[in-house]
Structure 1
């Protein structure tokens, strides 16, 4: 099949309808007013006000263990939600207690201005020790500090038994879909410990419908017991346009080339992030359509760079591959704006925030048709089978060359992304925290 035919076939897949979802979830996705979240105040009347609840000052304990210290999508969630939630609590005379080791607290220091820090021993930086401490001791510490509720931001990794009512946020159960994604001991923990602990939580939140479905299927929770509170996007940072000229020049100097590129922002992790198949697809698309693009990667190396580098050389595309490592946060919106397309080939994503950030900038997105990505991009993303380099190459060519795909991303993408705001995410969590604090002991139904 020639390059033009592949693009036509991709265009046919472009308009696939999204999966049916409950009306309540569609209303939440629309964000109510339709106004840009940049114009809404993060501190305001809690969502629960409409339910006739009274609002008293709350002290909420938030452990930072297992959140990757800001170096992943989960870390981005912490950086975005915690300062907004802390401001909401403070406005009502409450307080957010941020619990972590010195490394945890240092990593999030820039966003914890309204929170009160609680320092744990550095020995708890070890993953096993941290998971054990959270299960056995977090609840007691939170109770001693007078917490009314505990928000667990990484409940698929760190859970608590006992203590104040807990709101458990689950980002994904990806290790159940991608064998070998993490350390061998982690899968039994997710399969056996996590479900039991979640059933004892006062409330459970999933960041996507896909994660909710996994919790129902694998953790034995009732679908009605899991609230979907989607991630948001910072539309002040991710928006159409271009970065200042000085930043673009700095960026291009680091890249080492001046031509167009496809951008994949993800840690270098195999097999989960699927870089090797992306390289194969990129090589196919470049050969079939004589595309002039480079492929730009950012993210920390989780032991995969040597294999990625070797495979790029085998495919003859090493000179068109640029890896910048973990970049400054200011560079990421500029990279998304400058890219001709965002690639999201992960085998399974619990949300896939870069896809939403791409649409916020009006940049076309080619993404896997697995996990939460279909609901994140809706009809505006070009989807592919992440295990098929051929299908991935077709989607990349479509995102890079098809005029309808590119026009819709530019015209409709920013408004689509703006429906999900971090302020709204924080407001919904705030309402749930008050709900469980005023009705303690009410666990989710199994």
Structure 2
């Protein structure tokens, strides 16, 4: 049985969905299924350069969102027929689809749909999801969100994403005064928040306010590092930093390569993750794997993903965030509390393993095709 995996809509492997595809295919067990990725010709060696049992079919197409959408609308079904796919997996969910699904289709829904779609789009999403042969959700929170689209409990499967434990792993924090990650030299100690500056729901503003409260109250040398690409909310966040009174202690890195994040985490005093709209929230798990304590929002999928291994706060209350920070910074008073949170995190991360993710995905495919027989 030949299964296509759609690698479009992944920013050439740089997005979260791109990381999902790369990690999934690297860990897919050898089975009777023949998997083949398909996507832009530019990505020919992005995903399969070191995997000999999964092929890649490249499509020569302009590198624009419009060109990709038009290709899916006009050409995808004929391409599926030509490649003789028995089914197609869509890691980017319902963003790029043909007008009609001609083979069994499995959607991976990596984000909350209810918060991002207008009424017309929601009607289309509901119809598409109802025609799906399978739906994979990386959290119970996202699965629950799909109830708005008429998806019942039995129509979607929760399969947690993994983390790359060869990258995100415990490292002893040295006593150096700064960490050097090109092109940055970041003075320690610092607090890390790795997130793109997109919507207000990411709560960058609240974190900046909390950092100001923390600095005024405790007067420590800590800096705040916000690592992530600029987005729709960038100007507002930059203005908040300027007005905070501590702009010299707040670093906005812009785009930060995923492969460099482990060093950034491992050298941090703690990770603070105030986003209230996370459908998955893997950055908190990656931070735990690097051996630092995590404080995060009691919102979205974060309580589910972090379990009892993090300290939680109300992301709309800067005072609460500031208190969480003060309780986890590396001081003699916090030593026992910090160590407890760190050890809980290191124990918790075993739940997020890409090998398990890939194996459960194959088992889910088995169950789907058994129903078709």
Tell me the TM-score normalised to structure 2 length.
Answer: 0.88
Structure 2: distance between partners of 1:271 and 1:298: 16
Q: How far apart are residue 266 of structure 1 and its match?
A: 1.4
Q: For residue 239 of structure 1, what is the aligned residue in structure 2?
A: 169
Structure 2: distance between partners of 1:73 and 1:343: 20
Q: Tell whether 2:122 aligns with 1:148.
A: no
Q: Tell whether 2:361 aligns with 1:429.
A: yes
- After superposition, the Cα gap between the structure-2 partners of 1:101 and 1:206, relative to the gap in structure 1 and judged at 3 Å, is same
Q: Tell whether 2:194 aligns with 1:265.
A: yes
Q: For residue 242 of structure 2, what is the aligned residue in structure 1?
A: 313
Structure 2: distance between partners of 1:345 and 1:66: 27
CA deviation vs aligned residue, 1:332-380 (integer Å, no higher than 9, x gap): 1111111111121223011111101111122111111111111111111
Q: For residue 383 of structure 1, what is the aligned residue in structure 2?
A: 312
Other structure's SS at 2:248 match: helix
Q: How far apart are residue 112 of structure 1 and its match?
A: 6.1
Indicate which of 135, 141, 152 corresponds to 1:210.
141
Other structure's SS at 1:308 match: helix
Indicate which of 38, 48, 51 corresponds to 1:99.
38
Structure 2: distance between partners of 1:282 and 1:333: 23
Structure 2: distance between partners of 1:386 and 1:114: 45
Q: For residue 166 of structure 1, what is the aligned residue in structure 2?
A: 105
Indicate which of 338, 355, 367 corresponds to 2:267.
338
Q: Does the Cα contact within 8 Å between 1:149 and 1:433 map onto a contact in 2?
A: no
More strand by share: 2
Structure with greater contact order relative to length (CA < 8 Å, sep ≥ 6): 1
Other structure's SS at 1:380 match: coil
Q: Does the Cα contact within 8 Å between 1:380 and 1:405 map onto a contact in 2?
A: no
- After superposition, the Cα gap between the structure-2 partners of 1:192 and 1:134, relative to the gap in structure 1 and judged at 3 Å, is farther
Indicate which of 261, 269, 283 corresponds to 2:212.
283
CA deviation vs aligned residue, 1:410-433 (integer Å, no higher than 9, x gap): 222112101220111011111222
Structure 2: distance between partners of 1:83 and 1:197: 29
Q: How far apart are residue 406 of structure 1 and its match?
A: 1.4
Structure 1: distance between partners of 2:317 and 2:144: 24
Unaligned runs of 5+ in 1: 1-57, 442-446
Q: Tell whether 2:65 aligns with 1:127.
A: yes
**Correspondence list, 1:337-376, <5 A:** 337-376=266-305
What is the number of residues matched between the two proteins?
368
Q: Does the Cα contact within 8 Å between 1:82 and 1:111 map onto a contact in 2?
A: no
Other structure's SS at 1:355 match: helix
Structure 2: distance between partners of 1:114 and 1:266: 34
- After superposition, the Cα gap between the structure-2 partners of 1:376 and 1:190, relative to the gap in structure 1 and judged at 3 Å, is farther
More helix by share: 1
- After superposition, the Cα gap between the structure-2 partners of 1:225 and 1:135, relative to the gap in structure 1 and judged at 3 Å, is farther
CA deviation vs aligned residue, 1:236-280 (integer Å, no higher than 9, x gap): 22121148999x8532x7443432111111122132422222111
- After superposition, the Cα gap between the structure-2 partners of 1:279 and 1:267, relative to the gap in structure 1 and judged at 3 Å, is same
Q: Does the Cα contact within 8 Å between 1:362 and 1:409 map onto a contact in 2?
A: no
Q: How far apart are residue 212 of structure 1 and its match?
A: 0.5
Tell me the TM-score normalised to structure 1 length.
Answer: 0.75
Q: Does the Cα contact within 8 Å between 1:194 and 1:219 map onto a contact in 2?
A: yes
